[in-house]
């Protein structure tokens, strides 16, 4: 057990023993979203703010604030430089944050500059084709791609280096092809990916499960694989994962939070304990479903390890892909 985990465990235990009760969150709480209102970071902040209040784990409404710039980079630098000891501040993050950190896009700060608190929900990548595509399984698509990769344009809702580009790179790798040579089409969001698939402008789409599932059910596209470690419930229960089909990769789009690096062990423990309680409440489960997210609860040291593992994995993939 390293020094950080030892400190964390001792602080949490001693704090609980001294108070004889659950560790308390600060009276004033705030969630910082590193983008404009309405995006993924906003969803992440609202998920915590609404459910913590509804479940009565905080007494006063949590403030949600916004700081646009660099897809979370400005907020990250702001917290590290000016609010690293604020115990009431949590900041929205995602798999995309780890991806940007891996590419050095948060400036001089790396993944060790904050305290990673936990993830409370997730979405998952999917591999999609047109409903009229001759390919019914990932293996059929992969074999065809391997035979003639230049015939297959892969579209995603983001530029080179984005999450959808990374998913596309994994598709190419799964077919034994060089990701640097794939025909990637950068599109403006998932809606453009769907339009391009239906119009025949691309043959493969890289997207998110929550966005594509309704179009799959409507017969507009066909999801060949979900990039999750295990099968998802509900409408996606009949769609096999990439791993089930023999491909050793997945793409978990976690929705999580971090704290400033100087937040005390006791305050960190209070947040971690509150998140664990929250995840089990009906109020939280209702909020999660309403926002189209899937259950994914990874908190404390386990989440810290997850984020840092993701950053290293993305560094390796980015290097291999020539980014």
Token code pair at residue 251: 């793409």
Token code pair at residue 305: 């390890």
pLDDT reported for residue 21: 52
Give dist(CA 239, CA 36) in Å, integer: 34
CATH of the domain at 315: 3.40.190.150
Which of the listed residues 208, 236, 264 is the one where a domain comes to its end? 236
Q: How many domains does the chain have?
A: 2
Q: Is residue 178 part of a domain?
A: yes
pLDDT tens per residue across span 236-294:
999 999 999 999 989 999 999 999 999 999 999 999 999 999 999 999 999 999 988 99
Of the candidates 230, 225, 227, the residue with the CA atom closest to the CA atom of residue 163: 227
Are 178 and 29 contained in the same domain?
no
Are 173 and 116 contained in the same domain?
no
Give dist(CA 25, CA 48) in Å, integer: 13
Are 151 and 85 contained in the same domain?
no
Q: Reply yes or no on whether the pLDDT at 322 is more than 90.
A: no
Are 79 and 152 contained in the same domain?
no
pLDDT tens per residue across span 69-125:
888 999 999 999 999 999 999 999 999 999 999 999 999 999 999 999 999 999 999
Confidence of residue 13 (pLDDT cuts 50, 70, 90): very low
Give dist(CA 102, CA 318) in Å, integer: 8
Are 12 and 115 contained in the same domain?
yes
pLDDT reported for residue 15: 45
Are 11 and 50 contained in the same domain?
yes
Report the chain's mean pLDDT, rounded to a whole number: 90
Q: Report pTM.
A: 0.83
Q: Is residue 157 part of a domain?
A: yes
Are 138 and 195 contained in the same domain?
yes
Are 151 and 106 contained in the same domain?
no
Share of the chain above pLDDT 90, in %: 73
Give dist(CA 206, CA 195) in Å, integer: 13
pLDDT tens per residue across span 34-52:
998 988 899 999 999 999 9
**Given the DSSP bridges, would you call strands 114-130 and 252-260 parallel, antiparallel or unpaired?**
antiparallel
Q: Is residue 242 part of a domain?
A: no
- β-bridge mates for residue 154, sequence order: 184, 204
Share of the chain above pLDDT 70, in %: 93
Which of the listed residues 210, 236, 262 is the one where a domain comes to its end? 236
Domain that holds residue 145: 125-236
Are 171 and 206 contained in the same domain?
yes
Which of the listed residues 206, 236, 266 is the one where a domain comes to its end? 236
Token code pair at residue 61: 């409404």
């Amino acid at each position: 057990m390293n020094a950080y985990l030892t400190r964390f465990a001792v602080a949490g235990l001693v704090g609980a023993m001294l108070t004889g009760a659950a560790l308390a969150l600060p009276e004033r709480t705030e969630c910082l979203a590193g983008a404009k209102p309405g995006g993924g970071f906003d969803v992440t902040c609202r998920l915590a703010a609404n459910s913590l209040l509804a479940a009565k784990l905080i007494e006063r409404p949590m403030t949600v604030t916004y700081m646009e710039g660099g897809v979370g980079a400005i907020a990250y630098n702001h917290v590290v430089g000016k609010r690293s000891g604020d115990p009431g501040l949590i900041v929205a993050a995602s798999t995309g944050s780890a991806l940007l950190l891996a590419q050095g896009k948060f400036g001089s700060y790396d993944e060790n500059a904050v305290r990673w608190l936990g993830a409370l929900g997730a979405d998952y990548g999917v591999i999609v084709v047109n409903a009229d595509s001759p390919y019914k399984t990932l293996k059929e698509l992969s074999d065809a791609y391997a035979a003639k990769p230049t015939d297959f344009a892969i579209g995603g809702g983001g530029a080179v280096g984005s999450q959808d580009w990374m998913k596309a790179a994994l598709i190419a790798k799964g077919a034994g092809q060089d990701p640097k040579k794939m025909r990637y089409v950068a599109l403006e969001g998932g809606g453009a990916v769907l339009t391009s698939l239906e119009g025949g402008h691309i043959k493969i789409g890289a997207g998110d499960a929550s966005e594509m599932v309704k179009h799959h059910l409507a017969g507009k596209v066909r999801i060949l694989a979900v990039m999750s470690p295990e099968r998802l419930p509900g409408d996606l229960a009949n769609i096999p994962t990439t791993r089930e089909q023999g491909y050793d990769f997945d793409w978990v789009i976690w929705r999580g939070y971090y704290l400033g690096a100087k937040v005390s062990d006791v305050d960190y423990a209070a947040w971690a304990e509150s998140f664990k309680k929250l995840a089990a409440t009906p109020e939280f489960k209702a909020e999660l479903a309403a926002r189209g997210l899937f259950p994914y609860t990874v908190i404390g040291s386990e989440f810290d390890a997850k984020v840092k593992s993701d950053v290293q994995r993305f560094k390796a993939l980015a290097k291999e892909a020539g980014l």
